[in-house]
A = this chain, B = another copy of it.
Amino acid sequence: MKTDLLPVVENVSCCSDLPTALSSADAEAKAARFKALADPTRVQLLHLVAGAGRDEACVCDLTDTVKLSQPTVSHHLRILVDAGLLTRERRGTWAWYRVADAGQRVLKADLGF
C-alpha cells in the first residue's frame, strides 16, 4: 500500500478561493452599460445634455458642438437611449434628449465625471 502522508487533495488551482462567477448574461448586461459610455463622443453627449438649458437638447445643436456628421450623432444618441442613459422625445420636427435616471447615477458616481 502506498503511503499517504501527503494525500493529493485535487488541488487543481494554485491558491485563491474565488466567489461564484457572475452568469454570462449578468456580466454581459453590466458590460453593456459601460460599453455605452466607452466612447469619447458619447461621454461628450451625456455631458452636453446634462448641462443643457432646460435640461434637454436637440440633435441639431449637439451635432454642431461635437462636429461629427448628423447620422453619426444620431447613432450615438441611439446607443445612449438603448442603454437607458438618455430618453428621447419627439416634439414636432425636433427630437429632444434628456438624461435618464441611470444617466444621473453615472454622473454622480465619480467615475470620471
* Structural contact, B112 and A29, CB atoms closer than 8 A: yes
In chain A, positions 55-71 with a C-beta closer than 8 Å to chain B are: 56-58, 60-62, 64-66
Interface range on chain A (Cβ under 8 Å from partner): 35 or more
Minimum CB–CB distance from A47 to chain B (whole Å) comes to: 5
Known: A14-B58, A105-B110, A112-B29. A19 touches B42 (CB 8 A): no
* Residue with the highest number of chain B CB atoms closer than 10 Å, among A27, A53, A96, A105: A27
Given A16-B58, A22-B43, A22-B47, 8 more pairs with CB closer than 8 A: A14-B94, A16-B56, A17-B61, A27-B41, A30-B43, A30-B111, A31-B112, A105-B109
Residue of B nearest to A37 (CB): B34
Residue of B nearest to A42 (CB): B31
A5 within 8 A of B: no
Please name all residues of chain B whose beta carbon is closer than 8 Å to the beta carbon of A16 when the two chains form the complex.
52-54, 56-58, 61, 96
A106 within 8 A of B: yes
Please name all residues of chain B whose beta carbon is closer than 8 Å to the beta carbon of A14 when the two chains form the complex.
58, 60-61, 94
